[in-house]
Amino acid sequence: MPLLTLTSDIGHQDYLVGAVKAQLLQINMGFTIVDISHNISPFNYPQAAYICRSAIKSFPEFSYHIILINLFEKKPEQLLLAFHNNQYLLCADNGLLNMILEEKPEMVIGIPLDKLAIKNTLYCASIMGNVVNQLIQGESVKNIGVADVSYREKNHLRPLLDNSWIEGQIIFIDNFENVIVNITRDQFEEQRKGRSFRIVFKRDEVIDRVSETYADVNEGEKLALFNSAGYLEIAINKGNAAGLFGLKGFSEKSTQVSGIMQTQLFYQTVRVYFE
């Protein structure tokens, strides 16, 4: 049975997640659908990339990942089918793909959309579901869409590097208000070079060691660790770090300024000093 994951920014307030799943099951009742998340913050590409990237790498090879995030940043003319590290990803042509992968995909196919169709979420989900169905029936990817198509790219958030420090951005705040920073364990150790360090945030908050678990510190104390996805996390044992420290994650919000829609970026940085 083909394994499909479903990630979206739809939320659970209305019928749409259920309708998307119903649409996919109408295409093939044999689909096994696994939810990753439907609570991606609107327009928040770094958060979406972090969640998708962290989840996808845990799935069996040749799984299909349907990503319904910010489908209509611009009027869509195509969807994308990518194959990378033995995983299939289907998403909008909005720049998110390379942010998830953090590199060029091995293969990208453009899936043309019917110019006369009403392009809503259910329509896009049905196109993606039909592509998956064609693939599992043995159809060549070259017959499904346009090979080597050009597509939009956005730069993923990289930490800033210096010989004596590394600076990351908060990309996610989880349900416990633990704070995840876009610094991986590998990046941390490569930059550290065996030196001692200080993790500094909110100007005067300092952590000088990495814990293995939350229980390594007393209840109510702050700590830093690398989470299951391998990213730096700032937390409070049995507390809410984001709320208590006033930390905010990266977000993108459209605001009306002088009659023109503009994008404003808000993010909080965390810097690690090496000594």
What does the pLDDT look like over 45-94, one tens digit per residue?
999 999 999 999 999 999 999 999 999 988 888 999 999 999 999 999 99
Any idea which residue has 């977000």 for tokens? 251
Written as one letter, the residue type at 264 is Q
**3-state secondary structure (DSSP) of residue 202:** coil
Q: Residue 95 has which token pair?
A: 């720049």
Q: What is the pLDDT along the chain (275 residues), one digit of tens a residue?
A: 789 999 999 999 999 999 999 999 999 999 999 999 999 998 899 999 999 999 999 999 999 999 999 999 888 889 999 999 999 999 999 999 999 999 999 999 999 999 888 889 999 999 999 999 999 999 988 889 999 899 999 988 899 999 999 999 999 999 999 999 999 999 999 999 999 999 999 878 999 999 999 999 999 999 999 999 999 999 999 999 988 788 877 654 433 333 333 343 344 889 999 99
Tell me the H-state helices in 61-147: 96-101, 121-136
What is the rounded distance in angstroms from the CA atom of residue 88 to the CA atom of residue 141? 11
pTM over 0.85: yes
Structural contact between residues 51 and 36, judged by C-beta atoms closer than 8 angstroms: yes
Exposure pattern of 220-231 as b/e (b: 16+ CB <10 Å)?
Answer: eebbbbbbebeb
Domains for the chain: give ranges and CATH numbers: 3-147 (3.40.50.10790), 160-274 (2.40.30.90)
Residue 35 exposure: Cα atoms within 13 Å on the Cβ side:
13
